[in-house]
Amino acid sequence: MRFQDISAVIEVLDDAYAEGIKTFMCTTHERMSAVCDYFRANPEKYPGYKFYPCLPYAHKYANAAAELGVLGALRSFLPEENALGALLRGGVSLATKDVEGLARLLIGAEMKMFAGLDAPVIFLQNVATDFLLGLGFDEAFRMFADCVREDYHAEPGFITMNAPALLTKLDKVGIRNPIICANFNKIGFRMCGGMQAYEELIAHGKCRFIAMSVLASGALRPQEALEYVCRFPQIESVVFGASGRRNIAQTKQLIDQLTPV
């Protein structure tokens, strides 16, 4: 309820920025449009600020599919400009099974809200990553990576609940040293493939790893949790959720203190 008011979102982002955190990882939730509008209107307040969009926002697709059907849902998210052409292209993509063409249209629709903002990494959400992983549709990862690099001059990132399995598939389709964001915590919470496999792929520098769920959804105290994560200097970043400056400051200070020089 609190964050239905965009000013409350901006307040937390301002708190994080004041603590030296200048990267916001976010979904393509419809309310993000207002946040993006604010940052576009106030660039002088946030030098060096970066967005890490994570797409697709699966709930809106599921809701639209329930209301409009699968094809209707896809069409509803295609770009509005030159709508007829976009719809025809989407229809042709479905008819010819040109999944890549349709994917580029949908990625474009999701990324529209970030136009003019610095988004150097664009992530495929774990709900999509792991669905494709389960299907064995490995080529889809290459399609996503190509689109992100060619259309947005950004790096593709992949969020997953099974980093070891994903890394094997990305290597198979030629994606080397990928950016992977996955759970990494002291008790192995939601670390499919086992803690040892995660520790090995991180220690051997097989990917650029971003740790998430480091507190194991609250099962670990921050000090204990971050002592474990910071033992691995190869981990480039930690992503965490917070709703107030005190928690933001505490987490950042612990990471700074525990990270080897």
Report d(CA 14, CA 11) in Å as an integer: 5
pLDDT at 194: 96
Residue 144: alpha-carbon gap to chain centroid: 13
Q: Are 75 and 87 in contact (CB under 8 A)?
A: yes
* Residues sharing a CB contact under 8 Å with residue 169, sequence separation 6 or more, in sequence order: 133, 138, 141
Report d(CA 245, CA 226) in Å as an integer: 18
pLDDT at 96: 46
The SS3 assignment for 23 reads: strand
pLDDT tens, per residue, the chain with 261 residues: 889 899 999 999 999 999 999 999 999 998 999 999 999 999 999 999 999 999 998 766 666 666 767 666 566 666 555 444 455 455 555 544 577 887 888 899 899 999 999 999 999 999 999 999 999 999 999 999 999 999 999 999 999 999 999 999 999 999 999 999 999 999 999 999 999 999 999 999 999 999 999 999 999 999 999 999 999 999 989 999 999 999 999 999 999 999 977
Name residue 19's amino acid.
Answer: E
Map tokens 């292209």 to a residue.
Answer: 89
Q: Are 123 and 76 in contact (CB under 8 A)?
A: no
Q: Are 32 and 7 in contact (CB under 8 A)?
A: no
Q: How many helices (H) and strands (E) does the chain have?
A: 11, 7
Angle between helices 126-135 and 139-152 (to 10 degrees): 140
CA nearest 249: which of 10, 14, 3?
14
77 phi and psi angles, rounded to 5 deg: -105, 0
Q: Are 160 and 130 in contact (CB under 8 A)?
A: yes
Tokens of 10: 């901006």
Map tokens 């599921």 to a residue.
Answer: 62
Report d(CA 229, CA 12) in Å as an integer: 24
As to burial, measured by CB atoms within 10 angstroms (0-12 exposed, 13-18 middle, 19+ buried), residue 90 is buried
Report d(CA 144, CA 107) in Å as an integer: 9
What are the structural domain ranges in the chain? 120-258
The SS3 assignment for 124 reads: strand
